[in-house]
Amino acid sequence: MSDAYAQPTTEADRAIPGPLAGYTTLRMGGPAGRIVAATSADEIIRAVQATDEPILVLAGGSNVVIGDDGFPGTVVLVRSGGLRVLAEDAESVTVRVEAGEPWDDLVAATVRNGWAGLECLSGIPGSTGATPIQNVGAYGQEVAETITAVEVYDRLDGTRQLVPAAECGFAYRGSIFKYQDRWIVLSVDFRLARSPLSGPVRYAELARALGVEVGDQVPLAEARAAVLRLRAGKGMVLDATDPDTSSVGSFFTNPVLDRATYEQLLERSAEVGDPPSWPGADGLVKVSAAWLIDKAGFTKGHPGPGGVAISSKHTLALTNRSGTASTGDLLMLANTIRDEVHARFGVTLHPEPVLINCTL
């Protein structure tokens, strides 16, 4: 699915400065010094090499918060697209996907072709090139499970490289590519299973929606349809007519706590019950950020300054409901939520989107 708010590439993109709000799903962001559209990996590299000023690489704009002062340098709009098969056999297929390919278009294509591995990531806005940066995940799947390599341009030494998945530093909602500007993603390689069935359903909510048990498999199209319904019900599928979707999706990541911090949280939450949690390796526990926010007094629809608000459908999404709110308004609400959650539970929430020329 294409980004509903990102403007199409035009010749004007290559020449004029202007506000970046039209290129983000939040519809927020001040002016750019210059905007350049790049429709291929070679054009992306040339655009980066052509200037010594600061560069912001922007594709779908679905996981970025840009400050009200905008970005003073050059913004490179990634508008490359397409995929090609690199290798295939009876059990799997490996495809290379250009960075600017709309993510949900790719997922839809894999489901049509009977390629399993991305079906539970349906409906996520943005571009394919952004997925390894964030190690995008939902409903029990992460892109790290299927990525075999990421093609990048290394600004440090001026080379084009293929980074194997093992060297990408994939972690919960992170990778070596996040929070730095050394590497610019050009394309992503995925190895997918040839199967009419999804992978084992790992997420209890999705299993209930499908009427199956956790661990069962279902036809790919059924898995995709169920995920799209669940996401739409939470305002997580872009819809220009629904102000709840003017967001970056989940604004905060689920905190990952060591055992001592988790035990302290249980003591402080005794009056409201135990938070939903998921055990991890080395005694770590992932805790629901949405639960912490709700129990700290910020329910669905909670208003903030300037027309921002918590989504009426999902506590983790902060929205530009008015369409005219500023980034400052959004960050004021986010700061209030973060401070109250810490005061109530002793847990610090961290933003999931990348913050550009602004801080939380």
Known catalytic residues?
173, 250, 352
Q: DSSP states of 292-313 as a string?
A: HHHHTT--TT-B-GGGEEE-SS
Which of 267, 204, 224 has the alpha carbon at shortest distance from 105? 224
Would you state the structure tokens that stand for residue 269, as one six-digit string? 């939450």
Distance (Å, whole) CA 108 – CA 123: 9
Determine which helix (DSSP H) or strand (DSSP E) holds 355, and give its type and residue range.
strand 354-356
Distance (Å, whole) CA 325 – CA 4: 18
Distance (Å, whole) CA 149 – CA 54: 27
Distance (Å, whole) CA 126 – CA 62: 5
Distance (Å, whole) CA 300 – CA 205: 19
Would you state the structure tokens that stand for residue 232, as one six-digit string? 């739409």
